[in-house]
Amino acid sequence: MPEKETIERARRDAREGKSPSTQAGEFVREEIHHVREGKHGVRNPKQAIAIGLSKARKSGVKLPAPPKGTASAKNESRSHRSSKRGGASGKRSAARRRALKKEGQSGASHRALSSQAKSAARRRTRSSRSQSARKAAGTRRSSRSRARR
């Protein structure tokens, strides 16, 4: 269950007209914090991101469904069916929690997240990367000029 503060941040993003992926980022950030504080572990950064996105979907963020053929896609549809009957079984939830407890915390380290971001960027086209860099540079310039005033 996501924290109230996280849900509120995501709702604020929605009110400001930000994209669903930005709203979902709040849930991913929360998940990274959970791993860092030792609530549970993850095998790699992708798993932490997947857990965060799943929580975002359940909280009503209008994200597209995960790609077909991934474990997450199968579980999403499974949890949707079971939610009609009153939620997933306690046994399954406990097993999932136990499994995550056994995992390490290095998946949420600064280095792991950095390499995940780099590999995700590498999969994008050159023009797409360039466009987002230009957009980021624009936001930096405007914040500096505001500071001088």
Give the pLDDT of residue 81.
Answer: 56
57, with CB counted inside 10 A (0-12, 13-18, 19+), is buried
Instruction: Give yes or no for residue 116 having a pLDDT over 60.
Output: yes
Mean pLDDT of the chain: 87
Nearest CA to 76 out of 55, 94, 107, 93 is that of 55
Angle (nearest 5°) at CA 20 between 99 and 111 = 50
pLDDT single digits (tens) 17-33? 999 999 999 999 999 99
State the Cα–Cα distance between residues 38 and 104, nearest whole angstrom. Answer: 9
56-60 average pLDDT score: 94
* Mean pLDDT value across residues 35-52: 95
d(CA 143, CA 139): 6
Both structure tokens of 33:
């914090």
For residue range 80-106, list pLDDT tens digits in order. Answer: 555 555 566 889 889 988 999 999 999
CB–CB of 1/33 below 8 Å? no
Instruction: Determine the residue type at 41.
Output: G
Per-residue pLDDT at 89 = 84
Per residue in 64-87, pLDDT (tens digit) is 988 888 766 666 666 555 555 556
